[in-house]
Amino acid sequence: MEYVLYEQQDMIGIITINREKALNALNSQVLDELSETFDSVDLDTVRCLILTGAGEKSFVAGADIGEMSTLTKAEGEAFGKKGNDVFRKIETFPIPVIAAVNGFALGGGCEISMSCDIRICSENAMFGQPEVGLGITPGFGGTQRLARLVGAGMAKQMIYTARNIKAEEACRIGLVNEVVKATLDEEGNVTVSAKENLMAEAKKMASTIAKNAPIAVRNCKKAINDGLETDMDKAIVIEEKLFGDCFETEDQKAGMGNFLEKDKEKKLKVVPFKNR
Ligand code: CAA
């Protein structure tokens, strides 16, 4: 693939959007390659994914403005659908996806991060939906997911004003969970970049997730996502079914058996969870 890199490290898959010269902007080819990459993830061995952008400056600086500039109404709608289909694939992907946001996350970049389960970012990250300044609406789910994540009032303010916000503000409003800084020496020189620390933090979180029972983690993702789309009476039924689905799995037997173990040593032992 030209614009998407994929690497598996133990039970973690790392997807990197690799179009650094254009600040990792999403053109049709990047979107197609992303879709193919998600399709090719080995779900028997990978338990958590990390999505990031190549380089230190930008996660994704939006949909490709050059490609969009000459689209007709019908083509614009089709381009929106292309992005939405990929982002929905990410959102409903069976295993968790962590967005490691290493710089600009504007327009389609903010939108792709919001289709992931969890967002953490480097201190130089900047989020925003600048579309109204370009004469369009957000088109890859921004009007929907931003309002669900940070509330309608804050989403409307960000989208109508097209004002970009820095990492700390994104954290304050709940758009990201954590801001990762560079490591400095006593003189204030950077010894480890914010991007390197961000990736280390993302991998740490991913491996913590990967150590837990995989069927239970998948069912939690589905319960939260599906439950948020319906009313509470139906949502708790969704949870009941997914809760019940965990019983009789090897993981449930091992996890609970371990807890009930009288032997203290064995009780504290990490359970080697399986995908069954
Ligand atoms: N599309 C296409 N190319 C882009 C791009 C984008 N969204 N963002 C950056 N680039 C390209 C630039 O054209 C430039 O290419 P050249 O070197 O060939 O000229 C290269 O990336 C570097 O960009 P800059 O020189 O502009 O870098 P900078 O540091 O001066 O500025 C920036 C960085 C503030 C992020 C600026 O590039 C910028 O404002 N980019 C556009 C951000 C944007 O508006 N995103 C929303 C797009 S619309 C959208 O996403 C719609 C949707 O919801 C589906």
For ligand 1, the distance from its centroid to the CA atom of residue 177, given in whole angstroms, is 25
The Cα 74–Cα 69 span in angstroms is 13
Count how many Cα atoms sit within 13 Å of the Cα of residue 234 in the half-sphere of its side chain: 7
Residue 104 contacts residue 61 (beta carbons within 8 Å): yes
111 is an active site residue: yes
Q: What is the pLDDT of residue 269?
A: 64
Topology match between the domains 4-210 and 214-275? no
Q: Quick one: pLDDT at residue 268?
A: 63
Calculate the alpha carbon distances from 246 to 214, 240, 256 in Å.
10, 10, 12
State if residue 149 touches ligand 1 by the CB under 6 angstroms criterion: no
Rounded CA gap, 106 and 17, in Å? 14
User: Ligand 1 within 6 A of 23 CB?
Assistant: yes
Q: Please give the model's pTM, rounded to 2 decimal places.
A: 0.96
Question: Cα of 51 to ligand 1 centre, how many Å?
Answer: 19
Q: Note the pLDDT of residue 270.
A: 66
Indicate which residue of 2, 36, 111, 178 is catalytic: 111
The architecture of the domain spanning 4-210 is: Alpha-Beta Complex (3.90)
Alpha helices in 40-101 (DSSP H): 65-68, 73-91
Architecture of domain 214-275: Orthogonal Bundle (1.10)
Q: Where are the domains of the chain?
A: 4-210, 214-275
Full pLDDT tens readout for the chain, 276 residues: 999 999 999 999 999 999 999 999 999 999 999 999 999 999 999 999 999 999 999 999 999 999 999 999 999 999 999 999 999 999 999 999 999 999 999 999 999 999 999 999 999 999 999 999 999 999 999 999 999 999 999 999 999 999 999 999 999 999 999 999 999 999 999 999 999 999 999 999 999 999 999 999 999 999 999 999 999 999 999 999 999 999 999 999 988 988 898 777 776 666 777 765
Question: Measured from the CB, is residue 59 less than 6 Å from ligand 1?
Answer: no
CA of 62 to the centre of ligand 1 (A): 7
CA distance 225 to 220: 8
